Chains A and B, each alone.
Chain A
Amino acid sequence: MRLVTAVIKPFKLEDVKTALESFGVQGLTISEVQGYGRQRGHTEIYRGAEYKVDFVPKVKVEVLVDDDDTADLIEVLVKSAQTGKIGDGKVWSVPVEAVVRVRTGERGVDAI
């Protein structure tokens, strides 16, 4: 099992959710986060007005997934979150040692 984490632009959340549902993901966790990547300190000019971009609001999506599905799921996440512009975010995955469904006590893949 792996935990796939994606940090995306907030307005892409609906697209990502729909794509993950089509892929068969049963549940996910969302949090409102702020951070920066390569665009730190970048100043944007928008119709003559300057905006200093420092910490940028993003949405963090976390999904538990079977090892075999990881690559496909990351692909789905990247495609659905992409706008092609700076600040689109990141997706990464880490191995998960144990998962338990609290209500039933099921473990491992059954608990996903």
Chain B
Amino acid sequence: MPSDAESPAASTAPAKAAQVEYLHALRGRSDIVGPALRRVLTDTVRAWLIGLFEAADPGPGISLVTLGGYGRGEPAPGSDLDLVLVHDGRAPDVGTVADRLWYPIWDAGISLDHSVRTVDEALRVAASDLRAALGLLDVHHAAGDKDLSARLRERTLAQWRSGARKRLPDLQEAGEERGRMAGDVAFLLEPDLKSARGGLRDVQILRALAAAWVTDAPPAPVQEAHTLLLDVRGELHKRTRGRDKLLLQEQDSVAEALGYADADALAHAVADAGRTIAWAYDSAWRRAGGVLSQQGWGRRFGRTRRPNRRPLAEGVVEQNGEVVLARNADPAADPVLVLRAAEASARADMPLAPHTLDRLAAESAPMPVPWPDAARDAFVGLLAAGPPAVGALEALDHAGLLVRLLPEWRRVRSKPQRNAVHRFTVDRHLLETAAEAADRTRRVDRPDLLLLAALFHDIGKGWPGDHVTAGEKVVARIGPRLGLPPEDASVLTTLAAQHLLLPEVATRRDLDDPATIRQVAGLVGSRGVLDLLHALTEADALATGPAAWGPWKARLVGELVDRVGAWLGGAPPPKPPALTADQEALLSAPAAGDPHLLVRVGEDELVHVTVAAPDQMGLLTAISGVVALHRLDVRRATAYSTSGRALSELVVSTPYGRLPDEAKMRSDLVAALGGSLSLDQRLREREESVSLPRRPGLASPPPEVLFDDSAEDATVVEVRAQDGIGVLHRIVGGLAGHGLDVRTAIVSTLGADVVDAFYVRGRDGGPLPAGAERERVAHAVLAALE
């Protein structure tokens, strides 16, 4: 930078105007904060620029405009000064005028972004450079030819409106990329106030959308959130020479300057502001997509004029890329609808439509306590969707529905944690842990409990005192309220109470000492809980931050789990319950009426399909196929055979709300067993007609097949897979195709996953030999599931 003596402007303008000294001094002024700070900065700079412009002695046909923070009247002490010297192309010596302006600004130590352009040149640049186009939208006349500045402003806006069709998709893409890089203001403990999702840049984009006439101006809550972030940024700039990332070390002093009780209160307010802006931002883009498609402009948005409705779940349909309620859905009579809608939104990775959320919030009946099974299934299914569940839960939260379902959530919502290891607020950490856990559901025999434990493991951070002790008590209340049976609720509480056990012991205790292993085994209790705890530990650490997990700790924890697992031994596979009186009666019904098929609605409000028939190869394959053909979702099933007769009971839900036709099911079963109905072909056709497009990268974990030898006369084949149309039929078909006789089946659907145990005998009537034969069976099942 040249010295004053070398600067061409040195003789015409004071190098250190009083205004400049004042500008620099503002950084140290604790009495000027918030809007007053922005006003003083703006007024001082504008007055200074007028002085500089006059001293530069410009002729006619020249004006000076400000862009960026100063253009909007929203500068922070470290903001750049974005200036354009506009000329009409006839003004002589405009370069000299520019020198006389720019040098004093450089010499004053103020960061300058400058250009010299005619109106046409400025518009050409804006047409090819999105950032320049956005900047010009904030143009503000500072000095000189007012008409020239006004012309630039009018033509900029006109060009922006007419080019919206082409520019907005790129603008949306740029915003998404920025969000991926910078994260969320709402959830990061050290957010970037300008660039992160829900930050100041998003408000600028909202204004740009309004300027393009595709959305309304940002509503009042967004403006309040924006003001809050500007206030915080102003104080942050005073302390950091223009940084936008609100680091933990600055939060105390910024909080004090702005009158917050403490740094946590500040972080909470910033997170809430980020949430409000991010929500408005997403909604605005959806509206923009709708407006553009109505105008026949949808390029990226891929909308069609005619609404295309496809069923996603009972009472929930997809319409134009959003999840909405079916015409006959009634939130007031169907308290589970809200969770089914959220699950469908997460599993299809499509947002819930804003009006659907409003309607659910206004009309939803309170959830009965304890929750019905269907509610818990939908909630677990939602969590099992992994990362898309975060958006669906955030949507519920925005509408106030999440806190209504889980009042405890209020305590951790936007709650900061002052901890060097953590990246996220408590609520976001819990959601991220659940998303990580969704990747590990095949490693455990109770994916539902893993997902719930992941969501609630740190809920105690909303209460005073040790979070593990507090969390244990809170989770002990939540489990029964969600309708978990006492033994499952107890496992959930153990998982919350012991979620730090494995990493603490693995890194601080002697793993060679049998007492260590014995103690952990005593606290965990069973192999199943140990596997759950192991998966939870990994998910928790990965969701915490890069410093919390790595091969070093993974190795130590893995070794501890292996040793404790060996100590505990394997868990016995599940056994089917004893026959009920109804089932006994059906089994002893006269053989002349075979197959007997009975459909009834149980106390659990699910449909029970019971079949008694002579035991034969392929019976369970046929029954499960017919059930799938009738559009029924198998939630639980047991099947066993005795004295040549087989009894199967399938507990099913009706995704499309219709009760199955008993007579039609029976005739289909007879046809399938007789070979006149090809179930495989019909199911394939059905699947092709209803399968929903899922975005790539959202695949659930691959299925797993495990073998267990603890039964005496059979081998237990356990299959863990994602639920879907006809999954049971395909698995059983795979086993039967391999010549295996399924003696007993215990099928559980846990949210979006199935964990099915089959007691099978080989071709010789005995258990499956270990080795290659089992590999072939596993291969056959996996192939059937593909």
B132 at the interface (CB under 8 A from A): no
Q: Which residues of A contact B512 (CB under 8 A)?
A: 83, 85
Q: A33-B552, A57-B556 are in contact. Are A11 and B566 (CB under 8 A)?
A: no
Q: Which residues of B contact A48 (CB under 8 A)?
A: 566
CB < 8 Å neighbour of A34 from B507, B555, B559, B563: B555
- Nearest opposing residue in chain B for A87, CB measure: B512
Interface string of B526-559 (1 = CB under 8 A from A): 0000000000000000000000001111011001
Q: Which residues of A contact B511 (CB under 8 A)?
A: 11
- Do B555 and A46 touch across chains, with their CB atoms under 8 A apart? no
Most B CB contacts (10 A, CB to CB) among A11, A13, A32 go to: A11
- Nearest opposing residue in chain B for A9, CB measure: B510
A55 at the interface (CB under 8 A from B): yes
B304–chain A nearest beta-carbon distance, Å: 55
B562 at the interface (CB under 8 A from A): yes
B467-522 contacts to A, CB under 8 A, are: 507-512, 517
- Do B555 and A57 touch across chains, with their CB atoms under 8 A apart? yes
Cα A48 to Cα B511 with chains together (Å): 16
B561–chain A nearest beta-carbon distance, Å: 11
- Do B508 and A51 touch across chains, with their CB atoms under 8 A apart? no
Interface string of A77-95 (1 = CB under 8 A from B): 0000001010000000000
Q: Which residues of B contact A57 (CB under 8 A)?
A: 552-553, 555-556
B567 at the interface (CB under 8 A from A): yes
- Do B562 and A51 touch across chains, with their CB atoms under 8 A apart? yes
- Nearest opposing residue in chain A for B505, CB measure: A11
Interface string of B414-450 (1 = CB under 8 A from A): 0000000000000000000000000000000000000
- Do B508 and A10 touch across chains, with their CB atoms under 8 A apart? yes
- Do A51 and B559 touch across chains, with their CB atoms under 8 A apart? yes
- Do A83 and B562 touch across chains, with their CB atoms under 8 A apart? no
- Nearest opposing residue in chain B for A53, CB measure: B559
- Do A10 and B563 touch across chains, with their CB atoms under 8 A apart? no
- Nearest opposing residue in chain B for A14, CB measure: B508
A103 at the interface (CB under 8 A from B): no
* Interface size band for A: 10 to 19
- Do B508 and A11 touch across chains, with their CB atoms under 8 A apart? yes
Q: Which residues of B contact A46 (CB under 8 A)?
A: 562-563, 566
Cα A83 to Cα B511 with chains together (Å): 12
Q: Which residues of B contact A13 (CB under 8 A)?
A: 508
The interface residues of chain B, by DSSP majority, are classed as helix
Cα A105 to Cα B124 with chains together (Å): 56
Cα A11 to Cα B512 with chains together (Å): 11
Cα A13 to Cα B510 with chains together (Å): 11
- Nearest opposing residue in chain B for A58, CB measure: B552
Q: Which residues of A contact B509 (CB under 8 A)?
A: 11
Cα A56 to Cα B552 with chains together (Å): 8
- Do B510 and A11 touch across chains, with their CB atoms under 8 A apart? yes
- Nearest opposing residue in chain A for B508, CB measure: A11
Q: A9-B510, A14-B508, A55-B555 are in contact. Are A32 and B550 (CB under 8 A)?
A: yes
Q: Which residues of A contact B562 (CB under 8 A)?
A: 46, 49, 51
A47 at the interface (CB under 8 A from B): yes
Cα A85 to Cα B513 with chains together (Å): 11
- Do A83 and B510 touch across chains, with their CB atoms under 8 A apart? yes
Q: Which residues of A contact B508 (CB under 8 A)?
A: 10-11, 13-14
Interface string of B182-226 (1 = CB under 8 A from A): 000000000000000000000000000000000000000000000
B552–chain A nearest beta-carbon distance, Å: 4
A50–chain B nearest beta-carbon distance, Å: 9
- Do A34 and B552 touch across chains, with their CB atoms under 8 A apart? yes
Cα A42 to Cα B510 with chains together (Å): 18
Interface string of A1-37 (1 = CB under 8 A from B): 0000000011101100000000000000000111000
CB < 8 Å neighbour of B507 from A11, A47, A51, A55: A11
Q: Which residues of B contact A32 (CB under 8 A)?
A: 550, 552-553
Q: A10-B507, A83-B510 are in contact. Are A47 and B550 (CB under 8 A)?
A: no
- Nearest opposing residue in chain A for B563, CB measure: A46
A35–chain B nearest beta-carbon distance, Å: 11
Q: A11-B507, A11-B508, A85-B512 are in contact. Are A47 and B563 (CB under 8 A)?
A: yes
A64–chain B nearest beta-carbon distance, Å: 24
Q: Which residues of A contact B566 (CB under 8 A)?
A: 46-49
B367–chain A nearest beta-carbon distance, Å: 45
Cα A98 to Cα B297 with chains together (Å): 70
Q: Which residues of B contact A9 (CB under 8 A)?
A: 510
- Do A10 and B556 touch across chains, with their CB atoms under 8 A apart? yes
Q: Which residues of B contact A33 (CB under 8 A)?
A: 552
- Nearest opposing residue in chain A for B550, CB measure: A32
Query: Which residues of B are interface residues toward A (Cβ below 8 A)?
Result: 507-512, 517, 550-553, 555-556, 559, 562-563, 565-567
Told that A11-B509, A32-B550, A32-B553 touch, could you supply 19 new A-B pairs with CB distance under 8 A?
A10-B556, A11-B508, A11-B511, A13-B508, A14-B508, A33-B552, A46-B562, A46-B566, A47-B517, A47-B567, A48-B566, A49-B565, A49-B566, A51-B563, A55-B555, A56-B555, A57-B555, A83-B510, A85-B512
25 cross-chain CB contacts under 8 A: A9-B510, A10-B507, A10-B508, A11-B507, A13-B508, A14-B508, A32-B550, A34-B551, A34-B555, A46-B562, A46-B563, A46-B566, A47-B563, A47-B566, A47-B567, A49-B563, A49-B565, A49-B566, A51-B562, A57-B552, A57-B553, A57-B555, A57-B556, A83-B510, A83-B512
10 nearest CB pairs, A to B = A49-B566, A32-B552, A47-B566, A57-B552, A57-B555, A57-B556, A11-B510, A11-B509, A10-B507, A11-B508
